[in-house]
Amino acid sequence: MRVAVVVFPGSNCERDVADVLHDLGAETHLVWHRETDLTGFDGVVLPGGFAHGDALRTGAIARFSPVMAEVARLAAVGAPVLGICNGFQILCEAGLLPGAFIANRDLAFICRFVEVEVADTGTFLTAGTRLGSVLRIPLNSYEGNWVDPTGQGRIVLRYVDDPNGSQAGAAAVASAEGNVVGVMPHPERASDPLLGSDDGLVLLSGFLGAPVPV
Amino acid sequence: MKVTVVINRRPEIADPEGTTVRRALHELGFTEVAEVRMDRVIHLDVDDDDQDRVRDRVDVMCSRLLANPVLEDYLVVLG
Amino acid sequence: MKVTVVINRRPEIADPEGTTVRRALHELGFTEVAEVRMDRVIHLDVDDDDQDRVRDRVDVMCSRLLANPVLEDYLVVLG
Amino acid sequence: MTAVTESVHRRLGMTDDEYEMVVDVLGREPRPAELAMYSVMWSEHCSYKSSRAYLSRFPTSAPWVVVGPGENAGVVDIGDGWLAAIRIESHNHPSFVEPYQGAATGVGGILRDVFTMGARPVALWDQIRFGPLDRPHNRYLFKGVVAGIAGYGNAVGVPTVGGEIEFDVCYEGNPLVNVLCLGVMHRDELVLGTAGEPGSIAVLLGKATGRDGIGGASVLASASFDEAATEKRPSVQVGDPFEEKKLIEACLELYRRHLVVGVQDLGAAGLTCAVSEPAARAGVGITLDLGEVHVREGGMTPPELLMSESQERMMAYVRPEMLEEVLTVAEHWEIESSVVGVVGEGDMVTVRHDGEVVAEVPADSLSGGAPLYHRPVARPDWLDELWESYVPPTVASPAETLLALLSDPSIGSSAWIHEQYDHMLFLNTVVGPGGDGALIRVRGTNKGLAVSTDGNGRLCLLDPRRGAARLVFEAALNVAVAGARPLAVVDNLNFGNPEKPEVMWQLVETVEGISEACEAMGIPVVGGNVSFYNETNDRDVNPTPVVGLLGLADPMPIDPPRLQRARPGMEIWVIGPDPTPNFAGSSLQRLQGAPTGRPTAPRPDVATPMIEDVARLAHVTPVLHDVSDGGLAVAVAEICIASGTGAVVETDDPVWLFGEDPHRVVVIAESGSALPGRRIGRMWAGDLVIGDETLSLETIATTWHRALPDALGV
Ligand SMILES: Nc1ncnc2c1ncn2[C@@H]1O[C@H](COP(=O)(O)OP(=O)(O)O)[C@@H](O)[C@H]1O
Ligand SMILES: [Mg+2]
């Protein structure tokens, strides 16, 4: 599978996620945010980081990057589109996912492992998991508190212990069709027992269409 | 021309900053503070003197970029 | 009583966020925007009707907590 | 000399004698821009004029040293074509003025020191010290500093994987904020701070220059705090991690493509330093045109442009045929650039502004020509009294004493701090904050780099030489616990007013102590930083050297020791010399009063073989934990908390439980192991039992977890 990992000015997890996807067998390419053609890519990842320094609101400026028209096109044709952390925030700002993000309830950056429970197995991200399984994955964000005034968002993963006030405990959210998914914790950081967990691999394998069962 | 844009979070959306500041004020003894809401103000210096055009263009800036319609309302004040 | 506190970053202090927003507005075609400064407004709801006392107390809140005297100036508006 | 210029140089922080030296060098009165340049370059902060004479004592060579002290960062060879760059820096005074921005710009600065050398910064460590948290202002400073480190480090995208925290009244008016950065690069990516051959072009990259931080080095960092705090205060620098992130990526691309001959970062002394140091190193002259500098605000004067400490800027020296490509790289990464200078023959820095020459001075008189002070040195007369007034601490109940130690915010969990730092980015943090040294893997190799940072103001107050040496040995043991062998040291010397002979004595002794310990282990000092004038209202901080020690684990342990790996049935061993009944400088002593007595001397003969043994044990042992603050009892309690496993400790001797004598490590081993130490207990599926007292795991865990949050009231 050919995967584009988009690099915005201020992205910082692009190489991490590209490396892990590569190890899982994907052909990964880092694509600068000014790229206007993603022809030939089977899926796209918007990685974590601080695109445009989080100026104004997280993701507010990144959503106007030239590459975003192509991300929307891929989403519309049903290709898997995955936003991790800041990538999730960008997808919300771009209207490709419902809701928006505000500061964590306790107004502190949170970097630690959290447990998330699978709430929906109908998306590529969770295709290899079972409903209710619990995964240990690092969270790393200041604005991880998801708000969805419509209450209609499709929640894919929920925090077991609410760390940040996110509505309905949402840790990952999908589009109605299920091919656009945003996840706040970082599956690529749970990719090796040496780093404390490899629970993220089942999610990223799902993205590559090769789910490994848990 | 100077333009001031006030962005305020809709009342039904949580405001963790406001809540935290209220708690801190109470700890400092300012218990009379019943509520705190934080807004953002953006001051623009615009190279254009046509009031109508400036108002229209800043309105577009707000709806496209400066405010997030999911969370926020905005107000544009010229001058 | 409602109180509005306007907090302004001092003009000589750099405002990186404002610079980034200006650049973004330019990219979107709003090249007439010469400068952007980002500031904050804090709305307080105070359980007290004595104007003088409220003004004094809010002034103390500002200098102790709400504003950062090294970087910011503030203005208290009652009502 | 006219009265007018006299007051100008004094206002810039120069003495009359220094002014006369400038006149001597130039053979004439300096122009205003020239005076500005000398004042920043000859400031204590930039020139090390009070410490240079003594720092030369440090051992600095070893076969693996690629770049020693003097460049922006030290560089060592870690084998197979890989190099590691390391540097530590203080931002004490700016953090007192504005804790968030002071700490944030400290992080920005140390990162620049490392990526200036060609290395990608891979990890940060912070060492922070404040007055006690029962004072609201100290809480404000502490929270602001942590938020600033988090705000900058997280956003710039470099993980903060460890650090150190200490609370003591001596830091009340003068917090210490040190930051260490480690970078990794391929050998062919190494870049030095040279201006290159005549014909090279100086390209200023990054953020536009403003009036921020003017005089920060000469005034704020080089004078006592009460003086500087008032009207001399320069305008505060505001960090912009987003600009720096783009600058890092742009610079790394320039290095990878070999587009530059040299690079110098703009930190303290700004443009002045960025032209004079590279020119002096290369033995060339340079002409700088201030009119070409991209600026944030209009109307800046030449002295202002030359002294501005605006953050997130770099000077690249480029061969003319590469210029276009360099500018294209800058444009790609969306950073501003301007061509500001040309390198020529000779040795003069010439500065032009509006077509006029505003400065013309020998490059090396700025960077190397600063005065060298042999300030008076005198052993403090109060020291003998301190030594003689030693009172042993009292321990009625070891269990109660342990709880008191665990609830001390200098000892309790640092999770409240390090969970605000991204410490996992880059997927290299094999051992992160919460253990001893942090261990970072170097991908593409089997190597791991371990770093430990250690400081202890009380110990060094009581005996700076012993204290400093012990810090080096402790840091070495901390990296050994991760399976690494010591490779190099960087140091940050945080001291009071160097014009006091007692403070200079503390410095000299400290340098001696660090040097002796390094020599014993055969490792060099490859860089450091001196921060003087850490005094407020005539009270100096405790002499507080902070040692950062880099170790190499090659190969990295397949399953490195972790506190979590203790299991019921395993045995608890202690290796190292038996402790002596001396609590001078210990945490227990701090709980009960002021530091007194003379700390136990380190034992170089014991330390070196022991560090080797421990590094070997790290490949085969589930848990290794260095005995430091709070002694053995705290070390065992931390293992219990992390692993959720109880322990039975078969001694209630306070000397064994709470002594902090150096060179001791707790080993948790499978039962039946034969180790070169003493077996003092075992792990079991119960509580923590010490002698005939018992503490529930929940009690010790809650006490330890809540120590810092409770002190902060959060
Ligand atoms: N300011 C800090 N920032 C990040 N991590 C910290 C900080 N202070 C302490 N830590 C982490 O907590 C752990 C224990 O620190 P410390 O007690 O100083 O260790 P040691 O005594 O073994 O040197 C270390 O892993 C250290 O990195
Ligand atoms: Mg220690």
Listing DSSP states for D115-177 in one string gives HTTTPEEEEEEEEEEES-TTSHHHHHHHHHHHHHHHHHHHHHT--EEEEEEEE-GGGTTS-EE
Residue D571 carries which side chain, given as an amino acid letter?
E
Q: How many CB pairs under 8 A join A and D?
A: 78
Q: Which long-range contacts does C48-52 make (Cβ < 8 Å, 24+ apart)?
A: C48/B32, C48/C1, C49/C1, C51/C1, C51/C78
Q: How many A from CA of D527 to the centre of ligand 1? A: 22
The minimum CA-CA distance between C79 and chain D, rounded to whole Å, is: 30
Per the CB < 8 A criterion, the answer to whether D349 and D359 are in contact is yes
Q: Rounded to an integer, what distance in angstroms lies between the CA atom of residue A176 and that of residue A98? A: 9
Q: Distance of CA D551 to CAs D182, D448, D610, D662, Å?
A: 11, 8, 15, 19
Distance D662 CA to ligand 2 centre (A): 10
How many C-beta atoms lie closer than 10 Å to residue D357's C-beta? Answer: 12
Residue A213 lies in a domain: no
Its sign, for the CA torsion D125, D131, D136, D141, is negative
C41 and B41: CB-CB below 8 Å? Answer: yes
Count the residues in chain D: 714
Cα distance from N-terminal residue to C-terminal residue, chain B: 6
Which of D124, D162, D85, D83 lies closest to D452, judged by CA? D162
Q: How far is CA D255 from CA D248, D424, D522, in A?
A: 11, 26, 32
- For the CA atoms of D33, D39, D42, D43, the dihedral, rounded to the nearest 10 degrees, stands at -150
Residue C74: per-residue pLDDT: 95
pLDDT tens by residue, D266-279: 988 899 999 999 99
Domain definitions of chain C by residue range: 2-78
Joined tokens for residue A167:
């509505």
The answer to whether D349 and D36 have CB atoms below 8 angstroms apart is no
Angle at D238 between CA D235 and CA D240, to 5 degrees: 155
Ligand 1 pocket mutation, candidates D164, D167, D176, criterion most atoms within 8 A of CB: D164
Residue D113 zone, left/alpha/beta (φ > 0; ψ -120 to 50; rest): alpha
- Tokens 């009342």 belong to B11
Minimal C-alpha gap between C13 and chain B (Å): 15
Nearest CA in chain B to A142: B16
Distance CA A81, CA A179 (A): 6
CA of D451 to the centre of ligand 2 (A): 12
| Pairing, β D429-431 against β D313-318 | unpaired
Interatomic CA distance for residues A137 and A188, integer angstroms: 9
Stretches in chain D below the pLDDT threshold 50: 1-3, 225, 227-232
Q: Which atom of ligand 1 is nearest to the CA of D626?
A: 22
All residues of chain B having their beta carbon less than 8 Å from the beta carbon of residue A165 are: 14, 16
CA-closest residue to ligand 1 atom 15: D164
D242 contacts A9? CB cut-off 8 A: yes
Check if D258 is active-site: no
Contact D305, D297 (CB under 8 A): no
CA A185, CA A195: separation in Å to the nearest integer?
15
Q: Which of D536, D501, D513 is nearest to D383 (CA)?
A: D501
Chains near C (3 or more Cβ pairs under 8 Å): A, B, D
Could you tell me the CATH superfamily of domain B2-78? Phosphoribosylformylglycinamidine synthase subunit PurS (3.30.1280.10)
pLDDT digits (tens, 9 = 90+) for D24-33: 999 999 999 9
Catalytic annotation, pick one of D9, D91, D93, D625: D91
- Closest by Cα among D249, D162, D187, D113 to A15: D249
Sort residue D630 into left (φ over 0), alpha (ψ -120 to 50) or beta: left
In angstroms, the CA A38 to CA D323 distance is: 31
Contact B41, C38 (CB under 8 A): yes
Of D638, D660, D474, D456, the C-alpha closest to D551 is D474
> Are the C-beta atoms of residues D449 and D182 closer than 8 Å to each other?
yes
Interface membership of C49 toward A (CB under 8 Å) = no
Is the model's pTM score more than 0.90?
yes
Interface test with A, best of D425, D431, D562 (most A CBs within 10 A): D425
D589 CB-near residues (< 8 Å, 6+ apart): D393, D458, D583, D595, D596, D597
Angle at D114 between CA D113 and CA D115, to 5 degrees: 105
Q: CB count, 10 Å around CB of D608?
A: 18
Helix axes D99-115, D241-256, angle to 10 degrees: 0
Domain-located, residue A43: yes
Classify D501 as helix, strand or coil.
helix
- Span A148-154, average pLDDT: 93
Nearest to D338 by CA among D208, D198, D192, D199: D208
Q: How far is CA D28 from CA D5, D6, D34, in A?
A: 13, 14, 11
Chain C residues near residue B61 by CB distance under 8 angstroms: 25, 28, 30, 33
Side chain identity at residue D623, one-letter code: V
How many A from CA of D275 to the centre of ligand 2?
A: 41
Residue A129 lies in a domain: yes
Please give the Cα distance from A55 to B70 (Å, whole number).
17
Backbone angles phi, psi at B50, to 5 degrees: -85, 105
- C28 to chain A: which residues are within 8 Å by CB? 64
CA of D435, nearest ligand number: 1
A214 confidence band (pLDDT: 50, 70, 90): very low
ipTM of this complex prediction, to 2 decimal places: 0.94
Is residue A101 a contact partner of residue A144, using CB atoms and an 8 Å limit? yes
Beta A134-141 vs C33-46: how paired, if at all?
A: unpaired
Q: How far apart are CA D99 and CA D663, in angstroms?
A: 36
In tens, the pLDDT along C23-78 reads 999 999 999 999 999 999 999 999 999 999 999 999 999 998 999 988 999 999 99
pLDDT tens-digit series, residues A87-134: 999 999 999 999 999 999 999 999 999 999 999 999 999 999 999 999
Match 């919460």 to its residue by tokens.
D434
Strands A154-159 and A145-147: unpaired
8 A C-beta contact, residue D162 and residue D451: yes
Q: Which residues of D396-428 are buried (b: 16+ CB within 10 A; e: fewer)?
A: eebbebbbbbbbbbbbbbbebbbbbbbbbbbbb
Helix axes D3-11, D16-26, angle to 10 degrees: 110
Smallest-distance ligand from the CA of D634: 1
Are A94 and A6 in contact by the 8 Å Cβ rule? The answer is: no
Tell me the two tokens of residue D661: 């004598």
**What's the gap in Å between the CA of C10 and the closest CA on chain B?**
13
Considering the domain boundaries, does residue A47 fall inside one? yes
Contacts of A103 in chain B (CB under 8 A): 16-17
Q: With contacts defined as CB-CB under 8 Å, which chain A residues touch D430?
A: 194-195
Mutate to test the interface with B, among C19, C26, C36, C72 (most CBs of B within 10 A): C36
Out of D236, D240, D242, the one facing C13 most closely (by C-beta) is D236
A24 domain-assigned: yes
Position B30, amino acid: F
pLDDT of residue A210: 61
Q: C16 and chain A: CB distance < 8 Å anywhere?
A: yes
Domain carrying residue A165: 2-208
CA distance A142 to D152: 13
Hey, of A61, A64, A68, which one would you mutate to test binding to chain C, going by the most C CBs within 10 A of its CB? A61
For residue C43, CA distances in Å to C68, D251, D552 come to 17, 44, 55
Query: Hey, what are D21's tokens?
Result: 């030296």
Which of D156, D308, D175 minimizes the C-alpha distance to D237? D308
Total domains, chain A: 1
The residues that bridge with D264 in the sheet, in sequence order, are: D315
Nearest by CB: A104 against B9, B12, B16: B16
Structure tokens at B38: 């934080």
Q: Are strands D665-669 and D623-626 parallel, antiparallel or unpaired?
A: antiparallel
Chains contacting B (3+ CB pairs below 8 angstroms)? A, C
* Residue partners of D660: CB distance under 8 A and separation at least 6: D583, D585, D586, D587, D588, D627, D628, D629, D630, D631
CB of A40 within 8 A of CB of A79? no
Cα angle value D223/D139/D699 (rounded, 5°): 135
Give the pair of three-digit tokens for residue D673: 């192991």
